[in-house]
Amino acid sequence: MQMVRDAVIVLVLIVVIFIASQSCFIVTEWEHAVVTRFGNPVKVVLARVMKKPEYALRLDGVQAQIKAAGVSQIIVGPGIHFKTPFIERVKFFDSRANLYVSQPYDIVTGDKKKIHLDNFALWRIENPLVFWQTVQDDYGARSRLDAFVFSN
């Protein structure tokens, strides 16, 4: 009887630990996160707190855009955050500057000279909700950057 009770206690403890691990997530200081419930955004975590006044104005604009999109909860700051286990999903986005390097290619100018072009761009995600809604991930962003860089 003692052995069965111990097995039940261990099983309950494992289930509690599993549910607790599914209900929290950690956002680092270089990440943003979007929490979705059944595919709809319900919470946005903006990790980087900008101290300069010009960044504060930009952060206010980002928060206004997120509120206008209907998201009920905006959290600014890294740390441990909570979600509903098994119902809500978290998508993380890097908030640091990213380097995009296009494939080098040759073009012919109007005066018939051949030029070897090697383009690059620095980009960063300021509004993770808009990023998630428009391009979904880094691959979608790179394809958009390809179209933009090659068109110019």
Note the pLDDT tens digit of each residue in 82-91: 998 889 999 9
Is 61 in a helix, a strand, or coil? helix
Q: What is the pLDDT of residue 75?
A: 83
Q: What is the pLDDT of residue 57?
A: 58
Q: What is the mean pLDDT of residues 80-102?
A: 86
DSSP state, residue 127 = -
State the pTM of this model. Answer: 0.73
Closest among 93, 87, 96, 88 to 43, alpha carbons compared: 88
Flag whether pLDDT at 135 surpasses 90: no
pLDDT category, 122, cuts 50, 70, 90? confident
pLDDT category, 73, cuts 50, 70, 90? confident
- 2-48 pLDDT per residue, tens: 888 888 899 999 998 888 888 899 998 888 999 999 888 899 888 76
Q: Residue 117: enclosing H or E segment and its boundaries?
A: strand 114-117
- Amino acid 85 reads P
Q: What is the pLDDT of residue 54?
A: 57
Compute the mean pLDDT over every residue in the chain, rounded to the nearest whole number. 82
